[in-house]
Structure 1
């Protein structure tokens, strides 16, 4: 069946070189050929690039001498046919060297075919499998398929299952986490959380949805106590924040914002409007708040009412757009009462359409000024 993986014209004698292989894989005879000559890859180069320990190298060398010499080549070519580049193959083998000893046709191929059947693409395979090499050693019928069925029951379609794998491939192999996910989602469903928000949590933040049940329930209760509505998107976004942060980190964010004039009540108000503001790093908070308060002249209260501003890129969005609007105001082309959020929270296309293009005749250099202040 694997005639397409190992060209028949390669003799076994050219695939065997035990002596040189035992000397830390400095040999040339193990070759794998793809359809593109530029993609030719030698097994020796692959393993040398993995920086394996001497002990692992010796064990792998010894065991490779005992297997069919076509085996490692079949494994490599199989992964290449599922989208792996040389560097991604190197990363995979470094994490789990003895995959090279696997039966490509009977052990690995069925698992890869199963993942492809649920929608995993060649672009996704390297990300998912290097993120969790345990996929490749777990039993398909006893482990992977049953766990897939559990995850599938939590979301709307296979596309969301694949998204969950891309954002947390380890969930398929962690039996306790898969088991916790069912009662966790049941808690949300009993609260009336819409399925689209449940799916968002599972597919984009699986570390939250699959967390320990007692931790998850405690976080849900905290979010409810803060006044979040289970029917709104911010409920699951706040849940993500609370589950992701320990109490020490949570309190440290309050202290950072307090240094910029926010009271604890203002912090909570901003969190209710934009939960993600509590996930920003201290460096990002300080840089953005410094610009908004000192350069843009906004009060802490104004920022708290539109905390989504904080998540906008400082160099690419806030600074250049502020510069453009400042020019327009100075020329009397825009009202001075213009709110900061009205031009920072819109798309690039809308900003140019509303604040740059209409004024090109009066200010022909406005676009140049905008680009000059915009960092790449």
Structure 2
């Protein structure tokens, strides 16, 4: 029997099995039977129950099942009896031990989506060799066709130092970067020449861009940025920071540029913001506008918003709820002022539960004990400036506010560690799976 679980999860997972499915809302329900869903009359729920029970019968732990479903939620839409069972049986008949079976599928669950038992077996053996034999595999040399190309190319990337987590994603992906031979080699050459580190995700992102986009298309994108005021060398500097930004359409690029201008930034300021954080290209026009409304609604002036965006461009991608909760805590509860947030806007990127609450709990305890009364800035009872509390590493914070207080150290550490643990409970990855609530249109 599994341990008790959180009653409600917040993760929503999109499914695309058919037009019937839109969203799976994963909700952890505390029931006697580990995979029993209270909405058992739903055919889709019965199907997901069958998949979960099948995995359990093959020795997968609840933690492994949680990882599989989180990584590849579409697995729940596959037919347990006709699609998954034959593949699991075939892998066992090939000599796969329970530990190998559960470990490999937990790492790369998408191999169960491959058509045919033979294809699944080839990928399984290849992945097993990479995991257990220091990455050396003979399958790429003996397997032909598309599968052989992918295995050979993945082996090349492994020898270059690309981590397993990226290799396996590329291997089972439907995208093309590890297919073919000449184009793959040319793409890898370009990525290497630009100096990307194979051990980083940016290497893989750059590989995607060069493989999927022709030289002409890339040149056209560079020209779009050039017309907006970016120098060519600045375009490539941005590429080194976040390669995917070059994949956006001309319409999206110009739209984002104009939206930021309507927020109050000048041409040069928009260029500076996008150079600093090209990731802000991901934010839609609607999200940027919503962001502006949120900040203004919280009391920030338009000028202050522009100042924060220039310093911390990522703030345009934060959700309204995220910003609201943090500002309400910092200003409403801790009594710092809005101008303090304007002074160090990166604070809005810090975790409320893991950073803000534990640290503020410590300084509030010091204030309540009279240790810091009347000192420092204008926050809660005279606590120090926001920057000295939040804009430093844990080590610096502990040395500054905990270790110097002698007999209070154990109590302060309990507050610091205790609040961190409390805050992380709601976001901890699902460790057991007991129930799944499937929403269908």
Same fold (TM over 0.5): yes
SS at match of 1:144: helix
- Report what 2:309 is aligned to: 271
Deviation, structure 1 residue 125 = 1.0
TM-score, normalised with respect to structure 1: 0.67
- Report what 1:109 is aligned to: 151
Deviation, structure 1 residue 289 = 1.2
Tell me how far apart the structure 2 counterparts of residues 26 and 354 of structure 1 sit (CA, whole Å).
58
**Residue 298 of structure 1, aligned match among 336, 339, 346:** 336
The answer as to whether partners of 1:320 and 1:371 remain within 8 angstroms in 2 is: yes
**Structure 2 gap ranges (5+):** 1-80, 103-108, 133-142, 378-383, 425-441
Deviation, structure 1 residue 313 = 1.0
SS at match of 1:159: coil
Tell me how far apart the structure 2 counterparts of residues 166 and 49 of structure 1 sit (CA, whole Å).
19
Change (3 A) 1:130 1:288: farther
* 355-364 vs 326-335, which moves further: 326-335
Q: Of the two structures, which has the highest relative contact order with CA contacts closer than 8 Å and spacing of 6 or more? A: 2
Q: Does 1:210 align with 2:256?
A: no
**Residue 76 of structure 1, aligned match among 108, 124, 138:** 124
Deviation, structure 1 residue 25 = 7.1
- Report what 1:288 is aligned to: 326
Deviation, structure 1 residue 237 = 3.4
Tell me how far apart the structure 1 counterparts of residues 82 and 338 of structure 2 sit (CA, whole Å).
65
SS at match of 1:156: coil
- Report what 1:356 is aligned to: 402
Deviation, structure 1 residue 261 = 0.3
The answer as to whether partners of 2:362 and 2:415 remain within 8 angstroms in 1 is: yes
- Report what 1:139 is aligned to: 180
Change (3 A) 1:189 1:261: closer
* 297-306 vs 214-223, which moves further: 214-223
Change (3 A) 1:336 1:112: closer
**Residue 199 of structure 1, aligned match among 222, 234, 240:** 240
Q: Does 1:313 align with 2:361?
A: no
The answer as to whether partners of 2:294 and 2:320 remain within 8 angstroms in 1 is: yes
**Residue 94 of structure 2, aligned match among 32, 35, 38:** 32
Q: Does 1:127 align with 2:169?
A: yes
Tell me how far apart the structure 2 counterparts of residues 127 and 170 of structure 1 sit (CA, whole Å).
12
Q: Does 1:149 align with 2:149?
A: no
- Report what 1:327 is aligned to: 365
SS at match of 1:373: helix
Q: Does 1:336 align with 2:376?
A: yes
SS at match of 1:261: coil
- Report what 1:14 is aligned to: none
Tell me how far apart the structure 1 counterparts of residues 151 and 222 of structure 2 sit (CA, whole Å).
32
The answer as to whether partners of 2:323 and 2:348 remain within 8 angstroms in 1 is: yes
The answer as to whether partners of 2:308 and 2:345 remain within 8 angstroms in 1 is: yes
- Report what 1:98 is aligned to: none
Change (3 A) 1:107 1:326: closer
Tell me how far apart the structure 2 counterparts of residues 111 and 226 of structure 1 sit (CA, whole Å).
43
Change (3 A) 1:108 1:373: closer
Q: Does 1:159 align with 2:207?
A: no
Q: For each residue in 1:34-91, what CA deviation from the matched residue of structure 2 results, as whole angstroms up to 9, or x when unmatched?
A: 6x773158xxxxxx99786xxx9xxx56xx7xxxx7x76444312332349xxxxxxx
Larger Rg: 1
Q: How many residues align?
A: 311
Change (3 A) 1:139 1:304: same
SS at match of 2:164: coil
**Residue 369 of structure 1, aligned match among 402, 415, 420:** 415
Deviation, structure 1 residue 103 = 4.6
Q: For each residue in 1:262-294, what CA deviation from the matched residue of structure 2 results, as whole angstroms up to 9, or x when unmatched?
A: 122211111111111111112211111111121
Change (3 A) 1:126 1:172: farther
- Report what 1:7 is aligned to: none
Change (3 A) 1:135 1:201: closer
Change (3 A) 1:357 1:196: farther
The answer as to whether partners of 2:176 and 2:212 remain within 8 angstroms in 1 is: no
SS at match of 1:343: helix
The answer as to whether partners of 2:166 and 2:201 remain within 8 angstroms in 1 is: no
Deviation, structure 1 residue 171 = 3.2
Deviation, structure 1 residue 248 = 2.2
